[in-house]
Each structure stands twice: as structure tokens, then as C-alpha cells.
Amino acid sequence: MKRMVISSALAFLLVVISPISLAEPLLVPVGQTIGLQLQDNTVTIAAFDDKLGTEAKNAGLKIGDWIVKVNGQTVHNIQELRSGLDSSGPVASLLVRRGAKELEIPVKINHTDSGAKLGVYLKQGISGIGTVTWYDPATGKFGALGHGVNGSGGVLLKMAQGTTYPAQVQSVTKGKSGHPGQLKGSCDNADVCGELLRNTPQGVFGKSRQGWLGEPIPIAQTSQIHTGQATIRSTVTGFATGDYSAEILKLYPASRSDGRNLLLKITDPALLEATGGIVQGMSGSPIIQDGRLVGAVTHVLVNDPTVGYGIYIQNMLDAAG
């Protein structure tokens, strides 16, 4: 059956009298759920208001439309859009991008004491939860997900800025063949705990304001990774992080940049009972083998949620810069 997938610095060694040994880099394998908010320079329609959305719908606006201009003025964020609407007359001319098309749509505006109302809910960028893979106590930097965050059309989101928030898992939809599971979590958007610096195909990277507790361990070189027993660290309830048994089934070339460097099977009875295997939201869960940080979980197989892919840790670190 065909398997389907969803979704350093340069050092100089100088010998004068006796050899000098270089300390191994140590990272904390975190496994904690975190809220992620990535913003780009687009404003899109996420939903229509039940009471005020009729005019917008009748005018021809659709969910997913990217609002590019208001009355000829380019908007880069929600604040600029609101300002343009506030200074508009009873009808605003919106230039929207829908797929490859650009459409000019006049829309009636409801001017109220609290400002102009378009009758739609807007979003800027993408938000959700994921799992932190590693944290460097020496620098405050961290990496998460093991894969990039894509925007519309499955294209890597060009992040303008990003923030992170503490998050907890509230419930789990268990994975089963043909139906990927999912962690459902919540976070307090008023409690910023870090900044995102990069969104890459190998993960998202940032700097934490408070860090994570844990014992730092060495990272595994690609040559040290082998098939056999391993452990993943993940959060599948509340804030509680746990270690779960797994098995690395197969290794792939490190040159693969799609986050599929190893094939992993979950074997831990407790995790299988709680989630059915690998579910959405567990991306970034660190993989540990022989006391070393090997990589991160990145994908699950649609037809078998107990099996998924992982990225090598070195590929994440190279992308982190």
C-alpha cells in the first residue's frame, strides 16, 4: 500500500604544547507545547460577521480574499486597513487578490462610534500550536516544529515578525488510519514569552525570554544515528511533558531537505492510548537516542498514525543560523 504523508561558528584548533579538546555543544530537548503567531504583510478575510457581514457578502467578498488596497491606498496590516476604512465615505473601494486574480470591489461601510465596520473578521499571518524541539541556555535561542509554516497555496510564509506564547493541551483527537489526529490547545496572547526570528523549511527559530528547564544533552552527528530504540519527548495533556518509547525504522540521506530524514514508529502503550500515535501539534517533538538529541518529529503517515518522519537535528541547527 502506498504511504501518504500529511502534513558554527568556525573554530580553529591550535596545538601549542598539548592538544586542546573542544566541548560538545549541549542543548535542552524541550518537548513543550507552545503557541506560535507568525505575521506577514497580508490581511485576509477569515470569516463574516453574523449581523454585519451581509453587505460584504453581497458585494462579492469571499473568505480567503487578500485585501491589498483601500481606496487606492496599499495596506500592510490590520491597523492600516482600519485607518483606511475610518477615513472612507459610505462606500470603500477594496482591491482584493483572489488566487492569481485582482478584483476591485466596492463595499458599503458601517460607520459606528467605535469605528468603521466592514462586517468581516480579519487575520494577518498564521497562528497555532506546535512543539519546541531544543533550547540553548547559553544563547536563549530555540527551534520548533522541524518544518516550516506555510501560508496560502502551501508556500512557505514570508514572516515579517512573530511571537510565542505559553500553551497547554486541552484535548486530543486520536489519529486513526485515513484520519490524522490533532492536539487542541490554548494560549494567553497577552503573555508573550519569546520572539520568532526565522521561518524555514527545517523549522521555526526564535529567542525565548524565559527559557525551559531541563538537562542539556549532546547533539547526535548523522553518523551516530542508527535504527533501533529511541525516545520522543512530547506534551499531550495540559503542560505535562513526557518521554515515550519509539523505534527508528529507517534512515535517509541528510541531504533531504523536506524533513524526512528518518522513519519512526511509536511503540509506547501510553502514548498510543492517548493519541493513537503521532498527531498534528506534535511536530517538533525531540527524538533522543543513546543520550543524544537526534532530531524532531515532523510528519505522520495518513494510513498509519503510529508511523511518521523526523528531521536530523543537524539540519535544524544549520537552518537556525
The tens digit of pLDDT for each residue in 263-297 reads 999 999 999 999 999 999 999 999 999 999 999 99
pLDDT at 270: 97
% of the chain beyond a pLDDT of 70 = 92
- What the block records as the C-alpha cell of 162 is 512573530
Which conformational region is residue 302 in: left (phi greater than 0), alpha (psi within -120 to 50 degrees), or beta?
Answer: alpha
Judge whether 319 and 205 are in contact, CB under 8 Å: yes
Judge whether 230 and 294 are in contact, CB under 8 Å: yes
Ranges assigned E (strand) in 222-273: 228-237, 240-251, 262-266
The tens digit of pLDDT for each residue in 75-112 reads 888 888 888 888 888 888 999 988 888 999 999 888 88
DSSP, collapsed to helix, strand or coil, labels residue 270 as helix
CA nearest neighbour of 298 among 242, 252, 241, 238: 252
pLDDT at 1: 44
pLDDT at 309: 97
Question: Is the pLDDT reported for residue 221 higher than 90?
Answer: yes
Q: What is the rounded (10 degree) CA torsion for 36, 30, 147, 96? A: 0
- pLDDT, mean of residues 248-264: 95
Give 49's contacts (C-beta < 8 A, 6+ positions apart).
117, 119, 120, 121
Q: Residue 246 phi/psi, 5° resolution?
A: -150, 175
CA nearest neighbour of 193 among 28, 33, 25, 31: 33
The winner for highest mean pLDDT among 9-13, 74-78, 205-209, 256-260 is: 205-209
**Stretch among 11-20, 42-51, 73-82, 295-304 having the lowest mean pLDDT:** 11-20
The tens digit of pLDDT for each residue in 127-174 reads 889 999 999 999 999 999 999 998 766 789 888 889 999 999 999 999
**Stretch among 8-17, 102-111, 232-241, 242-251 having the lowest mean pLDDT:** 8-17
User: In terms of pLDDT, which residue wins out, 245 or 6?
Assistant: 245
Question: Is the pLDDT reported for residue 262 higher than 90?
Answer: yes
